[in-house]
Amino acid sequence: MTGRLEGKRTLITGGGSGINFAIAKRFIEEGAIVSVADLNPERAQAVEALGGRFAVVDAGDVAGVEAWVAAEAEALGGLDVIVAGAGYELVANALELTVEQWDAHMAVMLRGPFVLFKAAIPHLIAAGGGSLIGLGSNLAFAGLNNFTSYVPAKHGLIGLMRVLAMDFAKDGIRANALCPGVIDTPLVRRQLDVPNADELLALWKSGSFFNRLGKPEEVAAGAVFLASDESSFVTGSALMVDGGYTAQ
């Protein structure tokens, strides 16, 4: 790799699997010092094998996130890049979804990034600036049936990144959303464990101009750009990595 992130002290939530693991891997390959938070302790070995740090943290636990950010900032001597990647899908229409499920989902999907960024921003200011990256979705610009809480959360994340970009530009901080389409991850593959799997996969592929699913590594490449100094004039934006889905 080219060392595009050499020495950048990075925190990634949800970094133990899927897209976020690919981001952690690519960041480390590009020279970043990476600390991953994930809810599943079984993912520690894979992260540590790459040379990354790992901690078991629930992205919806305010005190836990704040403590992790403080501990890693001290251990790494500061922070430069923050990736809010933790999240999960919840499929239910408005009549099926309980208020408790809504609150729990929002605690991870929208409140989680806010808490993470709020805790990290003072450390980025102290470092002279940095990059905040929120893992959004192409669904932040569209709707999808039965994604009653997921879609609003991703819409909200776009708004959060825009406001952070405006408020902290004076401190040298950039804030952007990274918005994947349907990416070939274990989570997506598990959803294909249904009788009409072939039809569902064909539908997902048809949403891309390339008639295929995206790769986690392709999203990670976008994250490298947003974290690197190459994107020094990019802030308040949403980088689409969806094969053209939102261009239709």
Cα 204 to Cα 17, 77, 213: the distances in Å are 21, 43, 7
Instruction: Round to whole Å and give the CA distance between 116 and 65.
Output: 6
Nearest partner of 87 among 161, 25, 184, 19, judged by Cα: 19
Judge contact between 134 and 236, C-beta under 8 A.
no
Instruction: Round to whole Å and give the CA distance between 138 and 148.
Output: 15
Nearest partner of 23 among 237, 239, 234, 218, judged by Cα: 218
Cα angle 222, 62, 56; round to 5: 65
Residue type, 31: G
Judge contact between 177 and 131, C-beta under 8 A.
no
Judge contact between 83 and 15, C-beta under 8 A.
yes
Buried b (16+ CB within 10 A) or exposed e, 46-69: bbeebebbbbebbbbbbebbeebb
Return the active site residues. 150
Judge contact between 44 and 15, C-beta under 8 A.
no
